[in-house]
Structure 1
C-alpha cells in the first residue's frame, strides 16, 4: 500500500478528516489544510509479508493510518489518534459505518495525563528552542580555533590574533610544541627566531581546521610566549553553530516571520498548541471527553498573536501542569484502555470489512 494506491482504491478508506488548525477552529488566513485518516489493507496484503502501517503524501500534509496501527496507538492514548477519532462532523469528509463502533470516550484513561501533558511539554521545549536560537544567532562563517587561542603577554593574557597584529606577525609562520602537564597549552615559536630556515605548520594549518597544529621545533629554542587553546569553548561554539544553521535551514519561514512581527521572540504557534493540549488534558479528567473544536478560539489566537510575554506563558503552563495530577487522581478514569476490547473491535472490523468486500 502506498499513498498513491490508496487514492486509486478509495474503497479501502475507513475515515478521512480535515485535521490541524482547521479542525481545532484555530485557523488563520494562511493556515494550510491538512488531512488525516484511516485505511484497511486489502486482505491479500494484510496476510502477506509486507504490512504497511502508515502512508503519507510527499509533503506530509496528508497522513493515513492502517486500522491495526490506529488501534495500537489508540490504546496508548496518543493525542493525534484520539483527536482523529473525535473529529467534528463538519470536518469529517468520509466515515465508514464500521468506524462508528469505535468511540474515543471508551478509550480515555490515566495515560492521557502523560500523553497530552507530555506533548504540551514538547511544545514548550520547541518554543524555548526558538527563543534560544533567536537570542543566540551564529555568524555565517564558523569561527576557527585561532579565535579561541590566547597568549601570555607580560602579566596578562591576550587574544593571539591581537598579539600577532601588534607584532606584525603571521600565524602561518608560527610553530607550536606541547608544554608537558598543561592541558591545551603550548610553547609558541616564530621562524624569525632562527638563523637557519625552518618550516612551521602555523598555529592552525587551515582555516577549516578543528585544532591547533604542532610543528617540529629545533632543539634548545626558547619560546616567544605560551599559547592556550580554549578547546571547550570552541567545541561549544561548533555545536551551537551547527544547531543554529540546521534550525535556519529547517524552520518554517512564515511562522518565523510571524514570530518577528509580534516581537516576543518565541514560537507563538507552539505555545498556542501547548495550552490547547493542556486544556484538552483537563477536559478529559473533568468531562471524560475529547473536545477537538475549540470554542475558546479567542484565547488561543491571542497567544498566537503574541499577546503574552514568554515568561508569563511559561508560568501559566507550569501552573496548569501542576494541577493536572490531582484532577486525574479524582477522575475515576481507568489506568489504561482495555486492550482486549480494542483487539476484539479490530478483529470485528477486519472480519466485517473483508466479508462485505468479497460479496
Structure 2
C-alpha cells in the first residue's frame, strides 16, 4: 500500500523509542509506531499486508513522517497477534504519552489495552533483556579479545569435503524441528512441554543458533535415519557457520559503530546502551507482573536518572549484570503471585478486532 493510503486509515500513531522512555537527548531520532486498518480487499480478497516500514519519502498526510526511516505502522491484525504474544516493543505502543495521531477507533483500542497483559510478559521481557545481555557479552568479548582471522573449515575438522551450506543446515534443522514437534504434538500428558517448545520458546531459532551437543548426536541420527558421518559433518558445519556469522558480525560492528558510543564502550568495557535497555526491560516486566500496568515513560516510573547513569558509564559491567540477575530473580518470585492471567483471552481479542474493523468501516 502507498504511504497516503496507510495514513488515511491510521487509527493511532505514537512517539516511541527514547522519546517515549523519557531518555531522549537533543540529537535523538524520532521513532514512530502506529496502527492502521487495511481496506476491504485485504480482509476479503487475496491481498496481504502486515506493516508499512518504508516509503516515507512518498507523498503523505503526516508531514512529520517525511523521510523518517524510524517509522513502522502495523496493520491491525498483525499488531493484535504481537500484542497477544506480549511483544515488549509493541505492548508499549498502547501506553505511550504522546500520540500525534489518535482517532476514536484508536482510543477504543487503548481503552481495551489491559486485555493483552498476561504472565507471558515474564518470558518475553526477560527474553528481550537476555538478548541485550548477549549483545553486551559479544561486544565485550570483541573489545577484550578481538578475533584475529576469518574462520576456515579446517579450524573445525572439516578437511575432505566442503561444509554444509547455511541453506542445507537450515533445511535439515527445519526437518528436525518438525520431527520433534510431531513426536510430542498429540501427547496430552506433555501439553505443557509442547507449549514450552512450540509456543513459549522459539525452539526453531534455538536449533539454528546452537550446535547439536555430543550427547544428542546418536538420537538425532536415529530420529532422522541419517548416516553417522553426516551427523558429524552437520555438527562441524554448525560450528563453522556460527563462527563465520560472528566474524561477519564483528566486521560489521567495527565498520558501523557510532564513534561516540564506541568511545564510551572502550572506556567502560561494555555497550552502555544495551546495558540500559536490559535493565529497563526487566524493570518494566516486573512492574507489569506486580501492578498490571505498563509504565513506558521512565520519568513516571522514577528510574530515569538511574538509567541515564548506566548510559553515562557510572555503573560497571559487573554492577549492571548483578542488577539484571537480581531483577530476574525477583521476576521469578513475583510471577506466581501475580494476578495476571497466564495467557490472554484470544476470543476477547478476536472480538475486539471485529469491533475495530466495523468502527473504521471500509
TM bin (shorter chain): 0.5 to 0.7
Equivalent residue in structure 2 for 1:101, among 94, 105, 108:
108
Structure 1: distance between partners of 2:151 and 2:343: 52
Name the residue aligned to 1:16.
13
Equivalent residue in structure 1 for 2:289, among 247, 263, 285:
285
CA contact 1:6–1:12 (8 Å) conserved in 2? no
CA contact 2:6–2:36 (8 Å) conserved in 1? no
Structure 2: distance between partners of 1:286 and 1:248: 41
Name the residue aligned to 2:262.
256
Q: Show structure 2 runs of 5+ residues with no match.
A: 56-67, 160-235
Pick which of 282-291 and 58-67 moved more. Answer: 58-67
Q: 1:238 to 1:275 in 2, by over 3 A?
A: closer
Name the residue aligned to 1:77.
86
* Per-residue deviation, residues 176-198 of structure 1 (Å, max 9, x unmatched): xxxxxxx99xxxxxxxxxxxxxx
1:29 aligns with 2:26: yes
CA contact 1:37–1:65 (8 Å) conserved in 2? yes
Higher helix proportion (structure 1 or 2): 2
Q: TM-score, normalised by structure 1?
A: 0.67
Name the residue aligned to 2:140.
131
Give the number of equivalent residue pairs. Answer: 265
* Per-residue deviation, residues 42-82 of structure 1 (Å, max 9, x unmatched): 11233221210011126741011000111111111111111
SS in 2 for 1:10: helix
1:328 aligns with 2:335: yes
Q: 1:196-207 counterparts in 2 under 5 A?
A: none
* Per-residue deviation, residues 263-319 of structure 1 (Å, max 9, x unmatched): 112111111111111111111111110101112210000001111110111111111
CA contact 1:105–1:290 (8 Å) conserved in 2? no
Runs of 4+ in structure 1 off by over 6 angstroms are: 143-146, 235-239
Structure 2: distance between partners of 1:94 and 1:31: 21
Name the residue aligned to 1:349.
356
SS in 1 for 2:100: strand
CA contact 1:104–1:290 (8 Å) conserved in 2? no
Structure 1: distance between partners of 2:9 and 2:244: 50
Q: How far 1:10 moved relative to its partner?
A: 2.5
Q: TM-score, normalised by structure 2?
A: 0.67
Structure 1: distance between partners of 2:52 and 2:121: 25
Structure 2: distance between partners of 1:352 and 1:144: 59
Structure 1: distance between partners of 2:357 and 2:261: 41
Q: Show structure 1 runs of 5+ residues with no match.
A: 149-182, 185-230
CA contact 1:6–1:13 (8 Å) conserved in 2? no
Q: How far 1:328 moved relative to its partner?
A: 1.6
Q: Which has the greater radius of gyration? A: 1
* Per-residue deviation, residues 203-260 of structure 1 (Å, max 9, x unmatched): xxxxxxxxxxxxxxxxxxxxxxxxxxxx9xxx79867644421332444444323323
